[in-house]
Amino acid sequence: MESKGPAQQHALDAARFTELVESASAGDWSRPSPVAEWTALDIVKHLVEWSRGFLTGAGIELPALDVAADPVGAWKQHVSDIQAILDEPAGRVLRNQHTGELPVEQAIDQFYTVDVWMHSWDLAKALGREPDLGEERSAAALAGMEPMEHLLRDSGQFGAAVPVDGDAPAQDRLMAFIGRDPAWTP
């Protein structure tokens, strides 16, 4: 699997998520998602809101966006804001009590872009579409997460693993590992 830089990876993952956001009709935003108690809109709100707060650790203050009023417009503005930071990181360092100090582009890549990629599965499922995270990338992500399972579960970011066959596709095994039912439907 070819390694991409943070700006390029974000552009690719955000573009795939943007396609999903743009494909949603007004009534789709209230649809349930595979994340317990979240709607399709909540997925977009989560990605926009937590990352903007996270970036304050690098001294980056982005204006709040009203995702509920205009999910598509808010998402597109958010993607543009994040891409601008990645295109010109300017040597900024993000300081966070949980992650320590990281160059801002590395912090975005490790914590935010991966979240966009994985939540694209949730949004696709909520919209009744079949997600495709890529088998190779899913397998690599799972291999990286499995050794930290207790740490990840203790963080509260992931639910209990869902049982799946060991020979299930890597995407299904990854989603099951983070607490999603690969067979979930709205």
pLDDT of 7-28, one tens digit each?
A: 999 999 999 999 999 999 999 9
Neighbours of 68 (CB within 10 A): 12
Q: How far apart are CA 106 and CA 83, in angstroms?
A: 13
For the chain, the structural domain boundaries read 6-132, 133-186
Query: Are the beta carbons of 110 and 102 closer than 8 angstroms?
Result: yes
pTM to 2 decimal places:
0.93
User: What residue spans of the chain are helical by DSSP H?
Assistant: 6-23, 40-54, 71-87, 104-107, 114-126, 135-145, 149-154, 170-177
Q: Which two tokens stand for residue 144?
A: 């990286």
List pLDDT tens digits, range 118-131: 999 999 999 999 99
Q: How far apart are CA 157 and CA 47, in angstroms?
A: 13
* Rounded mean pLDDT, 131-157: 89
Q: How far apart are CA 62 and CA 146, in angstroms?
A: 34
Amino acid at position 125, single letter: K
In sequence order, what are the residues at sequence separation of 6 or more whose Cβ sits closer than 8 angstroms to the Cβ of residue 123? Answer: 17, 20, 21, 33, 40, 43, 44
What class does CATH assign to 6-132?
A: mainly alpha
pLDDT of residue 109: 95
In sequence order, what are the residues at sequence separation of 6 or more whose Cβ sits closer than 8 angstroms to the Cβ of residue 61? Answer: 55
Supply the mean pLDDT for the chain.
Answer: 93
